[in-house]
Structure 1
Amino acid sequence: MNPASPTEPGATPAPPEGPRRPGDPEGLEGPVDAPGGAPVGRRIVLGMLGLGAAGVAAAPLLQRGVDALAQRDPTGLSEALPAGGGFRYYSVTASVRPRSARTYRLRVDGLVDRPRTYTLADLGAQPQTRIVRDVQCVTGWRVPETPFEGVRLSRLLDAAGVRPEARAVRFTCFDGAYSESLTLEQARRDDVLVALSMRDRPLGHEHGGPVRLYVAPMYFYKSAKWLSRITVTDHVHPGYWEERGYDVDAWVGRSNGRDDAPTA
């Protein structure tokens, strides 16, 4: 969801199958279904943001319209506009059913010797690592100095016993659509977490909770929301937005044509 979804204002027009430049799991993350089943894409939102001075002059009217839309908008489009705290909420599916602490499960499998399924309590009982970095979306928005806390992904991989032929890790999500991947070397970095909290609170559903991936040095679309499965593989499987033209390696400031982007 939430999907790794980046697209930047002024980007090349998206091809018919989807945007070329997604945002991220917290950002403008792709099309959702309108009431009649027609896709509603990020380009609509970006068009409003691209009005420039005219858009600023029309801000009061737009705000009233957004307030009214938020009361009845089944597409979630109104949630793609800037929200409190600097984050923008969106999903690549029309809706995502929440998982509770009782029902949540995270499966670790693939090219490992000891596959395992974790409950939220299991993950919470592991040693926790806290990282404070800027959250940077490829669309341009940024939330500075944002604390995330969780289990280092490398710890779960070590517990599973990664096999010698393994080269990458694939992440899938309980929204049923979103996916992401890292090389095994990237996945073992100390700043890659299976995150359970953000801003010193348990991850809420809108932020991809109860558990999400957090890849601190990369654009936020790599930090897949609603994480449900970690599969060790023999090659990198491009993620949701990467299949639609975005970079597989999404280092902040060194990928996706954003050499001038702030570093996280």
Structure 2
Amino acid sequence: MTPDPDRHTPAEAPDDPDAHGKPVGRRVFLGTLGLGALGVATAPWLQRGAERTLGSLSGQDPTGLSGLLPNGGGFRYYSVAASVPRKSPADYRLTVDGLVDRPRAYTLADLRALPRTRLTRDVQCVTGWRVPKTPFEGVRLDDLLEAAGVRRTAKAVRFTCFDGTYTESLTLDQARRPDVLVALRMQGEDIGHDHGGPVRLYVAPMYFYKSAKWLSGITVTDHVQPGYWETRGYDVDAWVGRSNGRTDDPTS
């Protein structure tokens, strides 16, 4: 069956599924299922090879199908854009602007030179998959907001991404929490492209769709602007265990 690229509801859509993906061909579908089986049933060296193949496939597969298969980190790969440009340390920029007194564009070197916070929490997707006790390291978002000089009329923060499609928002109070990071490292390594690097947002107490990948812009605003998935039915306040119809206890 060819998936309907326009049919994604909150109950079935993962954190970052491709809402506008191309139809999945039978050969691609069977091939990726075979790679998934390798990851489960073969020797470790073959499993590692399959994981590398999946990582490569995920960068070429706009359908999101490769995101359904296992990989070494326990994460699934998703993008809502057909392709995402890669940013090197030399050409990456993160802008902080909007209702601030001191707008700024940070290079990757600038961000790496700032004081860092390390958090180890469960990563929870709204669709149910979870990666327990995942370490993230980065700059507190509140530190960047403080450096920018947030104006008194500010109420929220909007995030944009260099995939050209994804957006997210937090209230200003949420953004100032100590467990919200502009993340530079994950699981002991610099964040790679497939995981939203070189810089992504990490909102520890919320479902993972709030942790926008490929972060490029932080704009302070006077109201919350619903993000990509919120305009498609997801909760704007995505506290783990307390949103999108889930009633289980929060995991972080």
TM (normalized to structure 2)? Answer: 0.82
* 1:20 alignment partner in structure 2: 10
Paired amino acid for 2:66: E
Q: Residues 117-165 of structure 1, C-alpha deviation per residue, up to 9 Å, x if partnerless?
A: 0000000010000000000001100000000000000000000000000
Q: What is the SS of the residue equivalent to 1:185? A: helix
Higher relative contact order (CA 8 A, sep 6+): 1
Are the aligned partners of 1:136 and 1:142 in contact in 2 as well (CA < 8 Å)? Answer: yes
2:37 equivalent among 53, 63, 77: 63
- Rounded to whole Å, the distance in 1 between the matches of 2:208 and 2:228 is 13
Q: What is the SS of the residue equivalent to 1:86? A: coil
Q: What is the SS of the residue equivalent to 1:230? A: strand
* 1:48 alignment partner in structure 2: none
Identity of aligned residues (%): 67
* 1:124 alignment partner in structure 2: 112
Unaligned 5+ runs, structure 2:
39-49
Unaligned 5+ runs, structure 1:
1-13, 46-58
Are the aligned partners of 1:150 and 1:194 in contact in 2 as well (CA < 8 Å)? Answer: yes
Q: Are residues 262 and 185 of structure 1, via their aligned partners in 2, closer, same or farther at CA, if it must alter by over 3 Å?
A: closer
Q: What is the SS of the residue equivalent to 1:206? A: helix
Q: What is the SS of the residue equivalent to 1:147? A: strand
Are the aligned partners of 1:32 and 1:91 in contact in 2 as well (CA < 8 Å)? Answer: no
- Rounded to whole Å, the distance in 2 between the matches of 1:262 and 1:191 is 14
How many pairs align?
Answer: 225
* 2:62 alignment partner in structure 1: 75
Deviation at 1:259, TM superposition (A): 1.1
- Rounded to whole Å, the distance in 2 between the matches of 1:239 and 1:198 is 23
TM (normalized to structure 1)? Answer: 0.78
Q: What is the SS of the residue equivalent to 2:216? A: strand
Q: Alpha carbon RMSD of aligned pairs, Å?
A: 2.5
Matched, 1:184 2:172: yes
Q: Are residues 212 and 230 of structure 1, via their aligned partners in 2, closer, same or farther at CA, if it must alter by over 3 Å?
A: same
Q: What is the SS of the residue equivalent to 1:85? A: coil
- Rounded to whole Å, the distance in 2 between the matches of 1:61 and 1:237 is 40
Paired amino acid for 1:23: P
Paired amino acid for 2:15: D
